[in-house]
Structure 1
Amino acid sequence: MEMLVYLIPASLFLGGVGLLAFLWALRSRQFEDPEGDGQRFLSDDWDKRPKP
């Protein structure tokens, strides 16, 4: 039972860090065009040869 004194604040801290990372990703437009990324991945327009 005494371990909860350490585990609850630790879990709240880690949850806050995760929330801040998610908000940072939203502000830096990481999720701007997920559908376009999927379409570009499936298209054959890209060059299959690696650049030297």
Structure 2
Amino acid sequence: MSVIFVLIMVSLVVASCFLGLFIWANKSGQYDDTVSPAIRMLFDDKKARKDKK
């Protein structure tokens, strides 16, 4: 029965670490710009065509 308590405590520590990392990533601006990477892909193709001419 004591093994279950140890596993629960370890899982809570791991979950809190992941939650802390997620909050840190949000505060540091990791997920701020979700639109421009998709648009940037389209502009890279046009630049490659201009260089070939």
Question: Do Structure 1 and Structure 2 share a fold, with TM-score over 0.5?
Answer: yes
Partner deviation per Cα, 1:3-52 (whole Å, 9 max, x = no partner): 111100100101100000001000110001112112213x11455xxxxx
TM-score, normalised with respect to structure 2: 0.71
**Distance (whole Å) between structure 2 residues aligned to residue 46 and residue 33 of structure 1:** 22
Number of equivalences: 46
Q: Which has the higher helix share?
A: 2
Query: Which one has a bigger Cα radius of gyration?
Result: 2
Identity %: 30
Q: Which runs of 4+ in 1 moved over 2 A?
A: none
In structure 1, runs of 5+ residues without a counterpart are: 48-52
